[in-house]
Amino acid sequence: MFDREAFEKIKDKLLWDFDVTREHLDPRTGFTFAIDVADRQPRLAVFIKRTYSSKSETTVVQPPAEMLLRATQELGIDLNRDGLYNINAELKNWIIDILLPR
């Protein structure tokens, strides 16, 4: 799981405009954030894109549950479908304010 120390290492390699739902069409490598839905539970995750593989890891510090639910509703995410989804502007602002070192 990603903790604050890990964010220091990736903050300059973040791909804020990366679309996790179309990862196979984007050749860039780096990191972005995603909503990871598993067992009807949305969680914030770091999405790691490498040249020939990708993976996600949930963050140790999670945004408020209400914020994650608002994001899933705003983005039309079906909590019955496990998967990775893009974040919304509210989550991006929370990440910048709370998770990323200054």
What percent of the chain is modeled with pLDDT above 70?
A: 99
Percent composition of the chain: helix, strand, coil (DSSP 3-state, to 5): 35, 30, 35
- The number of distinct structural domains making up the chain is 1
Q: To which H or E segment does residue 57 belong?
A: strand 54-58
Containing domain of residue 50, as a range? 4-99
Structure tokens given for 28: 């860039």
The answer to whether 31 touches 46, Cβ cutoff 8 Å, is yes
**pLDDT tens column, 37-87:** 999 999 999 999 999 999 999 999 999 999 999 999 999 999 999 999 999
Chain-centroid distance, C-alpha 5: 17
